[in-house]
Amino acid sequence: MIGKHTVKIGNSKLKYEFTINRNITILKGDSATGKTTLVEMIREYYENNTLSGITLESDVPCRTLEGRDWSVLLPTIQNSIVFIDEENDFLRTLEFAEAIRGSSNYYVIVTREGLPYLPYSVDEIYGIRESGKYAGLKHVYNEFYKIYHPEKINELPSIDSVIVEDTNSGYEFFSSLTVDGYPEVISSEGKSGVFAKIMENTGKKCLIVADGAAFGSEIDRVMKQITDNDDIILFLPESFEWLLLKSGLIDGNRVQDILQSPELYIRSEDYFSWERYFTALLIEETKDTYMQYSKRKLNPVYLHALEKKSILKAMEKAGELFDQNQSKTAL
């Protein structure tokens, strides 16, 4: 499946309206906020259609997935939005993650805890809020609201260390920005190692760079640690490859069109997360050119002065930190 899909569902007392942008959307929040009610409405409408007293508007089918026979039912569902409540233990298993890899469906998952086997975006984690109050025959309209933003930037006069999720190209790039080994660049060797590196660097002014497109399962514990800590900056671009594409170093209107509306180009059955798509796109767009990209080993051209400037500019405020730290360099 591809593209954005808007769902409107409700009964005489309650109505939800929201838009799904990617293959995995996380719905979270405290009890009694309407998450389970939404899933129950989807289930009831599917079972009884309009006899349920529920109306549903969607350009694709909406289904629920639950119970011990989930793995038998899932292969029969295609090109649909599948809603799953947190009471289903299979959500937290590797088996489930492997089962939905390559799926043509989009998934809306209710959960209050991180799901480490699923590569979901920090930008697709939502809660439910009421945008009106029920009175008489008026509906209560609910909409999704974003819990996390794609970056958290504080004002720091300098940074002591940079913690990067990447171990290859991204790590090479940020290491090239140091002056006499300062700031220190540390690889967390994957998203699950970011939290540990934050704890190891307590008391230092840190910039943390991770792939926002797949960092959703880690964001809770990281945010709890840094929310009240003004010495830590969390920068979560879609991926390092996305930054290179955004920098304008790759010629052509096609790339900019894709970056403007990625959901129109990224098929859920082909890419489990957007970071993988942006890597494939960058490799494709630079193939057989002097800017040919490899994730394993960074092409030295990306480390030239002008190219580094363009990439730092794409980082916006996070990139400005390196200018502050390196005012005497020739970047």
For 184-211, the pLDDT digits (tens) are 999 999 999 999 999 998 888 888 999 9
Question: Which one is predicted more confidently, 149 or 170?
Answer: 170
Query: CB-based contacts of 47: which residues, under 8 Å, 6+ apart?
Result: none
φ, ψ dihedrals at 52, nearest 5°: -75, -10
Strands 125-130 and 140-146 turn out to be antiparallel
* Residue pair 88/109 in contact by the 8 Å Cβ criterion: no
Q: How is domain 5-146 classified at the CATH fold level?
A: Rossmann fold (3.40.50)
pTM of the model: 0.89
- Residue 17 is encoded by which pair of tokens? 């309206």
C-alpha–C-alpha distance, residues 267 and 27, integer Å: 22
Of 307, 286, 304, the C-alpha closest to 295 is: 286
pLDDT in tens, 233-269: 888 999 999 999 999 999 878 999 999 999 999 999 9
Residue tagged 């497109």 (tokens): 213
Domain ranges of the chain: 5-146, 151-325
Give the single-character DSSP code of 316.
T
The rounded distance, in Å, linking the Cα atoms of 231 and 157 is 10
pLDDT at residue 331, as a whole number:
42
Longest Cα separation, the chain: 72
